[in-house]
Amino acid sequence: MDLNLAGRVVLVTGGSKGIGLACAEAFAAEGARVAICSRSEEHLAAATRALAARGRHVLAVPADLSRRDAAAALVARVEERLGPIDVLVTCAGAARRTSPEKLDEAAWHAGLDAKFYPTIHAVQAVVPGMAARRRGVVVNVVGQGGKAATPTHLPGGSANAALMLATAGLASAFGPSGIRVNAVNPGTTLTDRAQAAFKAEAERLGISEERARALREEQLPLRRFAQPEEIAQVVLFLASDRASYVTGAVLTMDGGAAASVV
């Protein structure tokens, strides 16, 4: 199936690792002109080397998207090098887990600074140009933590919930300007972050990391966690003309864990 993404300019925030890196490679494979950003120049260098080894070449730009001015500078640099941005995929940021007894004002602010503002700053930086051109797509990779409260993930989950509402609201506000805005909510996906969670769970229970992972996978209807590439394929679809009438949607990808119509 031709997704008509060849030649499109795509910016993937948080594109040096995990789901973001998988998205960058998938867009590049479709012939898109891809830029990735991360706060870490080291991670960006590793990502570009890995992609180049597979024949995928991307523009890497370091940026701390918790700062609004950094987001504006990032977009300006990408558009100077590659042209007007057609697709924005936001994967940047993840809040640290905090036990309820350690929750304080700083933890709540950190949750927003880690996930909510990096996404919103990136969106706000690209939307004016998209609106002027009367075309554009935004796909926010958020997370199921915004739908199901976890005691150790309250600040991050709250940021995710806010991003879901922002996604729906931005879709409504900018639909008349030709911009589609959607979100993907992955459940546990096999990235470095998930491996760290398995390690912590294994230490808590006194079992192996493999057993800790297996115990959690057994609770899923599909009996396995997602691969980053599976999330990326859905992001590609939402960014493509094949999804031309999809906007304001928040798509759950959790292997059937949330057996609910809400």
CATH number for 72: 3.40.50.720
C-alpha to C-alpha distance for 189 and 202, rounded to whole angstroms:
17
If one counts the domains in the chain, the total is: 2
Does residue 178 share a domain with residue 51?
yes
**pLDDT computed for residue 211 by the predictor:** 86
Does residue 38 share a domain with residue 87?
yes
Residue among 196, 194, 168 nearest 254 (CA): 194
CA distances from 45 to 48, 51, 57 (A): 5, 10, 12
C-alpha to C-alpha distance for 45 and 161, rounded to whole angstroms:
32
Does residue 199 share a domain with residue 158?
no
Does residue 166 share a domain with residue 91?
yes
Q: Are 253 and 184 in contact (CB under 8 A)?
A: yes
Does residue 91 share a domain with residue 34?
yes
Does residue 142 share a domain with residue 164?
yes
C-alpha to C-alpha distance for 20 and 224, rounded to whole angstroms:
20
Single-letter code of the amino acid located at 87: V
**pLDDT computed for residue 203 by the predictor:** 74
Residue at 1 is within a domain: no
**pLDDT computed for residue 193 by the predictor:** 75
C-alpha to C-alpha distance for 96 and 152, rounded to whole angstroms:
9
| Residue 196: domain span | 190-225
Does residue 206 share a domain with residue 118?
no
Identify the burial level of 52 via C-beta atoms within 10 angstroms of its C-beta, where 0-12 means exposed, 13-18 middle and 19 or more buried: exposed
User: How does strand 136-141 pair with strand 33-38?
Assistant: unpaired
Residue at 4 is within a domain: no
Q: Report the helix count and the strand count for the chain, using DSSP H and E.
A: 9, 7
Residue at 2 is within a domain: no
Does residue 45 share a domain with residue 17?
yes
SS3 state at 218? coil
**pLDDT computed for residue 149 by the predictor:** 67
Residue at 248 is within a domain: yes
Determine how many CB atoms are found less than 10 A away from the CB of residue 257: 16
Does residue 90 share a domain with residue 20?
yes
Does residue 206 share a domain with residue 120?
no
**pLDDT computed for residue 219 by the predictor:** 83
- Mean pLDDT of successive 10-residue stretches along the chain, which has 262 residues: 91 96 97 97 96 96 95 97 98 70 75 88 97 98 76 77 95 98 89 73 78 82 88 97 96 79 60
Write out the two tokens for 201. Answer: 């769970």
SS3 state at 248? coil
SS3 state at 165? helix
Tell whether pTM > 0.75: yes
**pLDDT computed for residue 135 by the predictor:** 97
Does residue 77 share a domain with residue 179?
yes
Does residue 80 share a domain with residue 131?
yes
Write out the two tokens for 26. Answer: 């998938």
